[in-house]
Amino acid sequence: MIKQIEIDLDKRRRGFHLITNELIAALPELPKVGMLNVFLQHSSAGLTINENADPTVRDDFETVFNKMVPEYDADYKHVLEGEDDMPAHIKSSLVGTSLTIPITNGRLNLGIWQGIYLCEFRNNGGRRRLVLTIYY
């Protein structure tokens, strides 16, 4: 059986934002066993799972990604939407736009220190839409 819902996340500033609790709140009752696929319908943001306790992890992610994929690179050709746009597309491809998480005993089976992140790579990315698909 499959259930699917779509949710919109409020606009966030650029950075790495824990959204685990928002996703859990939006989900219907979960099956005892299954899988959740989370898909982000945008090409300038991403999703990842990582450390959920220490907020400096999020700061370090932002620092490293900005070093790996800098803005204002003279080699970029796609610049009509702003200096943060092409770097945002590249960063989105690096982290990806979907996650698959096991469901066990009616709960997301994340590790004890794992959280789900929305990676907002635009300075003004706007609202972000997620498609949540539950397989059981």
What is the pTM (predicted TM-score) of this model?
0.96
Q: What percentage of the chain carries pLDDT values higher than 90?
A: 97
The domain ranges of the chain are: 2-32+42-135
- pLDDT per residue over 36-54, tens digit each? 999 999 999 999 999 999 9
At 18 the pLDDT is 98
CA dist 70 to 49, 76, 96, Å?
Answer: 23, 10, 18
- pLDDT per residue over 62-86, tens digit each? 999 999 999 999 999 999 899 999 9
Q: How buried is residue 62: exposed, middle or buried, by Cβ count under 10 Å (0-12/13-18/19+)?
A: middle
Whether residue 136 contacts residue 103, with contact meaning beta carbons closer than 8 Å, is answered with yes
Whether residue 123 contacts residue 14, with contact meaning beta carbons closer than 8 Å, is answered with yes
- Read off the pLDDT of each residue in 114-123 and give the average, rounded to a whole number: 98
- pLDDT per residue over 83-95, tens digit each? 999 999 999 999 9
At 127 the pLDDT is 97
Domain 2-32+42-135, architecture per CATH: Sandwich (2.60)
At 26 the pLDDT is 97
